[in-house]
Chain A
């Protein structure tokens, strides 16, 4: 009997990051198999009570609020210390994170502190035939998948790729007890100073969390070409991405690059426009549920990696698609 499977609940400015709910939903069956309790762990300063209700509604049996003045903003030093301290005290069997900017950073540092075994950016959580936890994860940018086990790990940690596990519908009637823990931190523990946070005015939804992505490549011909994709994105609530070719040409910022050397995304729908579909690009979007390609080159490798394809001029196809989507949207 273990001491619980923990899910690190990552806060955003206004709520909890969606991947937290995806993990909470997916972990319930594994926890049941192992006879473990599911706990959400939240770090911050004055964490709103509603966060506990949200975590409970997706399956948390218990919620830890680890609070401190010095946890008001995320820092690796502060958060990893506070998390490692409570892990050392409570000895959970497993701690799971979203494979986000924060989740990858925090899991690596906390794992080093508590000598955990850690697997990054996993797409599946399992219990193997001998009853041990294991995970599946892409390696070599998705060219290979591996099952990873954790022999000799006092604590198992894994970060889970956002948008891959499917959240169950929340049950608002489910409540979970909240245990408040005061973190032990001193100002000297945090060696890094946050000077400034610069928000880019870009998409409301980050690429890594987007349900739908409309992405453009060399075929967009120029920066202005992306206007077509933005128009479509506006109608269907998508986030716009770009291939390496489009970023290297200076048409889009690096932060919007999808691929092996950019962001790894996993939306419900990925619409690739004027993207040839190199092995590196596929590495960044291969786990998308539905992939659509629009490209005038019938030989483009993307057509062997997509679900739906149109071989034609994207400058005619994309506006026509947007028009039709607009019509459907108006019909409701």
Chain B
């Protein structure tokens, strides 16, 4: 069972994100970076499939700057076998579709039965790359997956995915793209021997020129959407803390305020 896991390095969920004074972009200096948590579910699921079938490889595919190597190594330490790193300034400044296009071009030449992606990256929160990747590779996809069952002949996969008010069970022919949602699994930690082994695993660097794409299809030139300006989020006014002799008195006062002042109930 050969899996590809698309991995993005993102700021830690705890990180404070500030905006550059001119509003042109966010400031990511001194920010701790992690594997996008939803991609981590993908790494775990791919490792579980390899264990279940007793053969195959797990390959990490990452597009992003040099610092991404640290997150790739973490995934290799968890047990992934090798990685490709699309690392070229020419690929920067694009949108989800230029990213998906570059990944698709790279993945086309690889052997795989299934591709795992996170349901979204927690930095730009776009939830577009995985779906576009499937479209460009001309294979089906399933979003928001919380359960994966690959048929023993590796020709089909049955998944449970979250929908409004419940779950949907889908069957897809393989290869397919699966986007991972919380609940799919509990990602393992990298073991010490895993970390040692990861140092020797291959991370293949891929440059824009290695992909057979026009300059107009990649990076900023290919982007169809662009961040014009960043802002700090709107601030709420200071809270009204309700006082009162007893919890019951406070509750009464609050309900009255919600009814009469906030008109919320």
Assembled-state Cα–Cα distance A312/B237 (Å): 21
Establish whether residues B254 and A310, one from each chain, have CB atoms under 8 Å apart when the complex forms.
yes
Contact among B11, B251, B264 for A310, CB-based, below 8 A: B251
Question: Once the chains bind, are A112 and B132 in contact (CB under 8 Å)?
Answer: yes
Tell me, yes or no, whether A328 is within 8 Å of chain B by CB.
yes
Q: Which of A151, A254, A268, A307 contacts B240 (CB 8 A)?
A: A307
Choose among A254, A257, A304, A308 the residue that contacts B242 (Cβ–Cβ < 8 A): A308
In angstroms, Cα B265 to Cα A269, docked, is: 8
Find residues 143-172 in chain A having any chain B CB closer than 8 Å to their own CB: 143-154
CA distance A324 to B240 in the complex (A): 20
**Nearest-neighbor residue (CB-CB) of B261 within chain A:** A308
Assuming the contacts A120-B126, A198-B167, asked whether A148 and B132 have C-beta atoms less than 8 A apart, the reply is no
- What is the size category of the interface that chain A forms with chain B? 35 or more
Interface string of A34-78 (1 = CB under 8 A from B): 000000000000000000000000000000000000000000110
Q: Say if the beta carbon of B250 comes within 8 Å of chain A.
A: yes
> Across the interface, do A111 and B251 meet the contact criterion of CB distance under 8 Å?
no
Contact assessment for A115 and B26 in the assembled complex, using a CB-CB cutoff below 8 Å: no
Residues in B135-189 with C-beta less than 8 Å from chain A? 135-136, 139-144, 146, 158, 160, 162-173, 181-183
* Chain B residue contacts of A101, Cβ below 8 A: 143-144, 162-164
Which listed residue (B122, B226, B231) contacts A150, Cβ 8 A? B226
Determine the chain B residues whose CB is within 8 A of the CB of A202 once the complex forms.
165
Asked whether B265 lies within 8 Å of A325 as measured between CB atoms, the reply is yes
Chain A residues, Cβ within 8 Å of B143: 76, 101, 104-105
Tell me if A76 and B227 are in contact (CB < 8 A).
no
Q: Which 8 A-B pairs have the closest CB atoms?
A: A117-B224, A320-B251, A108-B131, A316-B247, A117-B225, A112-B135, A153-B224, A269-B264
Further pairs besides A101-B163, A109-B141: 19, Cβ < 8 Å: A76-B131, A109-B132, A111-B97, A118-B225, A138-B125, A138-B233, A145-B231, A145-B233, A153-B225, A193-B172, A197-B163, A269-B262, A269-B264, A310-B241, A316-B246, A317-B251, A320-B251, A320-B252, A328-B259
